[in-house]
């Protein structure tokens, strides 16, 4: 994983206006919006918060609209499931026998909920549109794309893979930063095997290492089948 110190250095590097062609640069960044429509796999996640670190194994299935994450152990929701459609997150806690549905944006999410609230496929393959870029900068090793939303995307100049995504402090998204590393090629797709998601407080982090990944599988319906006696709380 990229350490906090190295990512701070990455962000603080001296950037200057790039002389490269923006359109050609973006076209070299892996974008599988048309060719990759679903993923399924599993991974190990380390959830770090001030004074607390926990480990969990997750299984996930995702298409471009929804993501379903199943927690195999730990974090107080052993056997729990989490489903997001990009707007809301449904958390089914099998241990305490309740479900909770909350909005993704602006909600106070913690632990593995922060990872599960994001579309796994969209995280694995972050898409950039040229019309969204407001400023194009570069350092010795990185390109920096500043988007109109305030988001900054850092791209490795040699591999043209995304190194880091940083949200502005004003964001209402459930993360402040995503770091990518350990890119590998599989069936013609270049994707990261390690992803770190930092909370809005910049002190909590979910570090995910993929251990298995299937591309374009035929997925069952991405739903959580709640027992009739399970209450759903909206808070």
126-167 pLDDT, tens digit per residue, is 999 999 999 999 999 999 999 999 999 999 999 999 999 999
Nearest C-alpha neighbor of 195 from the set 39, 73, 15: 39
State pTM to two decimals: 0.86
Sheet strands (E) in the chain: 16-17, 38-49, 52-63, 67-71, 81-84, 88-93, 98-103, 133-138, 142-147, 152-156, 162-166, 177-186, 189-198, 205-215, 232-233
Give the confidence band of 14 by pLDDT, cuts at 50, 70, 90. confident
- Domain spans of the chain, in order of start: 14-229
pLDDT computed for residue 200 by the predictor:
82
pLDDT tens per residue, range 49-83: 888 888 889 999 999 999 999 987 654 455 688 99
Query: Among residues 41, 45, 48, which one has the least CA distance to residue 56?
Result: 45
pLDDT at position 12 is: 47
Q: Please give the Cα distance from 137 to 19 (Å, whole number).
A: 8
* Max mean pLDDT range (22-26, 76-80, 166-170): 22-26
Distance in Å from the first CA to the final CA of the chain: 33
At the topology level, CATH places domain 14-229 in outer membrane lipoprotein receptor (LolB), chain A (2.50.20)
């Amino acid at each position: 994983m990229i350490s906090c110190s190295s990512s701070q250095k990455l962000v603080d590097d001296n950037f200057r206006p790039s002389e490269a062609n923006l359109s050609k640069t973006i076209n070299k960044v892996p974008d599988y919006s048309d060719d990759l429509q679903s993923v399924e796999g599993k991974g190990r996640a380390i959830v770090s918060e001030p004074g607390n670190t926990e480990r969990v194994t997750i299984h996930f299935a995702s298409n471009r609209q929804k993501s379903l994450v199943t927690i195999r152990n730990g974090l107080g929701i052993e056997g729990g499931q989490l489903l997001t459609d990009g707007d809301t997150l449904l958390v089914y806690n099998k241990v305490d026998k309740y479900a909770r549905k909350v909005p993704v944006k602006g909600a106070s999410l913690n632990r593995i909920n922060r990872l599960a609230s994001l579309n796994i496929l969209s995280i694995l393959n972050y898409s950039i549109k040229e019309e969204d870029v407001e400023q194009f900068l570069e350092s010795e090793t990185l390109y920096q794309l500043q988007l109109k939303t305030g988001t900054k995307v850092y791209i490795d100049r040699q591999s043209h893979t995304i190194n880091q995504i940083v949200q502005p402090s004003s964001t209402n998204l459930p993360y402040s930063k995503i770091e990518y590393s350990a890119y590998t090629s599989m069936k013609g797709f270049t994707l990261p095997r390690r992803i770190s998601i930092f909370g809005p407080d910049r002190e909590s982090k979910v570090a995910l290492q993929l251990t298995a990944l299937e591309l374009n599988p035929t997925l069952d319906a991405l739903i959580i089948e709640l027992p009739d006696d399970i209450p759903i709380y909206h808070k």
